[in-house]
Amino acid sequence: MPARLVRILAAVAGGGLVVVVAGALLAPGHRSPDPRPVAAGGAASGQDSQAAIERAQKRLREVPSDWQTWAGLGQAYVEQARVSGDPSYYAKAAGALDRSSREKPGNAAVLTGLGALAAAKHDFAAALKYSEQATAAAPYSAQGFGILADANIELGRYDAGYAAVQKMMDLRPNTSAYARASYTFELRGDLASARSALETALDESPQPSDAGFALYYLGELAFNSGDLKGAAARYGEGIARAPGYLPLLAGRAKVRAAQGDTAGALTDYKNVTSRLPNPTYVGEYGDLLASTGDKAGAEQQFALVRAEEKILGAAGVNTDLELALFDADHGSAKAALTSANAAYTARRSIFVADALAWALYRNGRSAEALKYATEANRLGTHSALLRFHLGAIEAATGQRAAAHRDLTEALRINPHFSVQHVPAARALLAGAAR
C-alpha cells in the first residue's frame, strides 16, 4: 500500500485534511453491483444523469459546435446506461464523443469520455490507453486519474492503480476519490481503513445520490464481514436518503435473506429487478427462489440473466467474467471455462483468477485450479467467496487440513455470503474435519 495514501487517509480520518477543489469525477467502477467488474459511472441517480443529458442537449441545440458539451453528453450517456441498466446508451455515448472529437480532435474531455465508455464496456486495455492519453493531456484533471485507476486495477496492475488513486486524492479528494481509496484498502484486507475512507466519502457527499452511493458500500463492507445489523442500518439509511439508488434495495434483500425473512427478501428482489434487471441481482433472486424449492421461478430468473448478458454482449460489453461465474454455478461448466479463459487472457485481476479457478474446478480439473485460486487470494482480500472457492478446490485435491482452514475462514468472514454456497461450504467443512 503506498505510504502517501495511508498518510492522506489517516489525516482524513482525523479531520486534518482541508482541500478546496472544483470539478466532477466518475465513481469507482470496480465497486459496482457486478461480482467485481467496473462500470464507469458515478454516484448519480437516474434523475441526475437524465437532467445532465437534457441540459447538454439544450446547449447543443444552441451551440452545436461546443466540443466540451458533446464530451459531457457522452459521459452522461455512459452514466445513464449504468443507472438505468440500458446498454443502448453506449451507442449514444460513442456518437456524442465522436462528435466532440471531430469538433476538437484529441481534446482531454473526449479522451476521458472514451476511457469511461471503454471501462463501462469492460474493455480495460482500451480504458487504460485512453486514460493515459487523457492524464497526459490534462495532468490536473482528477477525472482521468479515476479511470486510470479503475483500468489498472481491473487489469491486475495493482501498484499502478494505487498510484493513480493517490494522484486523484492529491487533486480532488471527494466522494469518488475516497471510495476508490477505500477499495484499495479493501483489496488488501484492511477493512478498518476501507471503512474510514467511506465514512469520509459519506461526509463529503454533496447530493443524496452521493450519500446513497457511500452508504451502499458501507453496507457492503458490513455485510461482507458478516455484520447483518450494521449492514441493515447502512442500507436502511441509504434508502431513506436516496430512495432512487436501487442497489440499496438489493443490499436490503441480501440482509433479509440472511436473517431468515425470505418473504421480505423476495419482495425486495422482485422490486429491484423489475426496475433494474442487473444480472447480479437477478441471479441472486434466482438463487433465493431455488433455495425455497421454487425451481420454475428460479429457472425463469436464470434465463433472464442469460438474456441480459446477451443484450449486454450485443451492445459491445465484455461479460466473460460474469458469465464464467454464473455458468460455473448454474450447470454450464464447459461454457464457464471458455469464458474464464477469455477473461484471463484479457486481464489478470484476482477476481478473474478466481473465476478461472472455479471454472476449472467445475470441470473436474482441480489440480490446475489450485494455482489460480491461490493467485486469487494473493492480496489478502477478506472475501468469503474467494476463500470458499480455495477451500473447495483444496478439498477436491485431498488437502484436508488446508481445506478445513480456508472453509472455516470463509464462514468466519461471512457466514451468510451466499444462499447457494454456504450449505456447500458447511458440508465440505464437515467432510474435511473427518
Identify the structural domains of the chain with CATH numbers, from first to last.
3-207 (1.25.40.10), 262-314 (no CATH), 319-434 (1.25.40.10)
More confident residue, 315 or 44: 315
- All three cell numbers of 159, joined, read 501498484
**Considering only 6-10, 60-64, 328-332, which range has the smallest mean pLDDT?**
6-10
pLDDT-derived band of residue 170, with 50, 70 and 90 as boundaries? very high
Cα–Cα distances in angstroms (integers) from residue 434 to residues 138, 402, 404, 409, in the given order: 61, 13, 10, 18
pLDDT-derived band of residue 47, with 50, 70 and 90 as boundaries? low
pLDDT-derived band of residue 48, with 50, 70 and 90 as boundaries? confident
- Reported pTM: 0.89
Whether the predicted pLDDT of 10 surpasses 60: no
| Cα–Cα distance measured from residue 395 to residue 111, given in angstroms and rounded to the nearest whole number | 48
* pLDDT at res. 432: 80
* pLDDT at res. 180: 95
Whether the predicted pLDDT of 167 surpasses 90: yes
Please answer whether residues 164 and 145 qualify as being in contact, where contact means their C-beta atoms are separated by less than 8 angstroms: yes
Whether the predicted pLDDT of 153 surpasses 70: yes
* pLDDT at res. 321: 96
Whether the predicted pLDDT of 411 surpasses 70: yes
